[in-house]
């Protein structure tokens, strides 16, 4: 049984409201904080809509929806986080912003409160060092869409204590998630393997070995992936894939992480995938 009964969440965007939903559906109280009331309202509306879809699929009752929503409090004040045993930072992927938020939390939260970050790319060890509670700081990398995806990567910084790790792991299990424990390193586990695979698909495409459709069909049917790497790149955004490869190249200083020239070329053209209407495929 998790000793964490109330979770604070910083950020009511896609990740923040998804984490809030995962907590509330599991009977865990949530305080979701964002800078603007409009953002908080939008986050709460997104959760309500998502729960409605679960009712349509008969995975949730109307009573279950009401109970879950009753457990979520929206706020624009960090002071409302004081009752939480764990606060998860799910703000934009920007190191300066995250450090500012974490230092603000440090001043408000009791010393025993655990702070987690949902970063997908910033060093947990480095973020922990910016706080006064490095032993009670950890990474909780949820996957999008949070309500559907079973995985949580729990990332230990160099300073993270066993007690902190165990409490957060128990919380992830209480949410019905399957946690894996990961040491702090660029890309953690999943993206460290996934993004270079996507990058390799661009090398294969550029070499004219097969069409995009055949590359994706090959990986779907040959490795049981639900979506091919090129279609996935279009979904993630080619600019995001390139940025991740650039981070690996800089951090590991190993040529195996060099971004595919075709990927760089397409990003330069502004062909970023679904969000621009054109990437590997046209939408």
**Does residue 1 register a pLDDT over 60?**
no
**Percent above pLDDT 70 for the chain:** 99
> Is 153 one of the catalytic residues?
yes
pLDDT digits (tens, 9 = 90+) for 152-171: 999 999 999 999 999 999 99
pLDDT digits (tens, 9 = 90+) for 121-145: 899 999 999 999 999 999 999 999 9
Question: Of the residues 120, 123, 184, 199, which is catalytic?
Answer: 120
**Does residue 84 register a pLDDT over 70?**
yes
**Does residue 2 register a pLDDT over 70?**
no
Give the global pTM.
0.93
**Does residue 69 register a pLDDT over 70?**
yes
- Please write down the HEC assignment for all residues of the chain: CCCCCEEEEECCCHHHHHHHHHHHHCCCEEEEECCCHHHHHHHHHHHHHHHHHHHHCCCCCHHHHHHHHHCEEEECCHHHHCCCCEEEECCCCCHHHHHHHHHHHHHHCCCCCEEEECCCCCCHHHHHHCCCCHHHEEEEEECCCCCCCCEEEEEECCCCCHHHHHHHHHHHHHCCCEEEEEECCCCCCHHHHHHHHHHHHHHHHHCCCCCHHHHHHHHHHHHCCCCCHHHHHHHHCHHHHHHHHHHHHHHHCCHHHCCCHHHHHHHHHCCCEHHHCECCCEC
pLDDT digits (tens, 9 = 90+) for 176-234: 999 999 999 999 999 999 999 999 999 999 999 999 999 999 999 999 999 999 999 99
> Is 191 one of the catalytic residues?
yes
Mean pLDDT for all residues in the chain: 97
> Is 173 one of the catalytic residues?
no
Question: Of the residues 2, 17, 184, 191, which is catalytic?
Answer: 191
> Is 255 one of the catalytic residues?
no
């Amino acid at each position: 049984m998790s000793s964490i009964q109330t979770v604070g969440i910083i950020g009511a965007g896609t990740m923040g409201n998804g984490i809030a939903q995962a907590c509330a559906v599991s009977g865990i109280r949530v305080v979701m904080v964002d800078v603007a009331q409009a953002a908080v309202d939008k986050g709460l509306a997104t959760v309500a809509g998502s729960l409605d879809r679960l009712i349509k699929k008969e995975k949730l009752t109307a009573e279950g929806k009401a109970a879950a929503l009753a457990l979520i409090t929206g706020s624009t004040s960090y002071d409302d986080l004081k009752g939480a045993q764990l606060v998860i930072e799910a703000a934009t992927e920007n190191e300066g912003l995250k450090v500012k938020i974490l230092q603000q939390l440090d001043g408000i939260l009791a010393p025993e409160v655990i702070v987690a970050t949902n970063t997908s790319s910033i060093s947990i060890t480095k973020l922990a060092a910016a706080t006064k509670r490095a032993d009670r700081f950890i990474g909780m990398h949820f996957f999008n869409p949070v309500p559907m995806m079973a995985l949580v990567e729990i990332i230990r910084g160099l300073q993270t204590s066993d007690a902190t790790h165990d409490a957060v792991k128990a919380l992830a299990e209480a949410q019905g998630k399957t946690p894996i424990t990961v040491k702090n390193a660029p890309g953690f586990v999943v993206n460290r393997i996934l993004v270079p695979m996507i990058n390799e698909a661009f090398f294969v495409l550029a070499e004219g070995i097969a069409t995009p459709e055949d590359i994706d069909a090959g990986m779907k049917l040959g490795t049981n992936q639900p979506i091919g790497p090129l279609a996935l790149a279009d979904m993630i955004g080619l600019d995001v894939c390139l940025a991740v490869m650039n981070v690996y190249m800089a951090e590991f200083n190993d040529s195996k992480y060099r971004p595919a020239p075709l990927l760089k070329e397409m990003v330069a053209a502004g062909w970023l995938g679904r969000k621009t209407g054109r990437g590997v495929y046209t939408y």
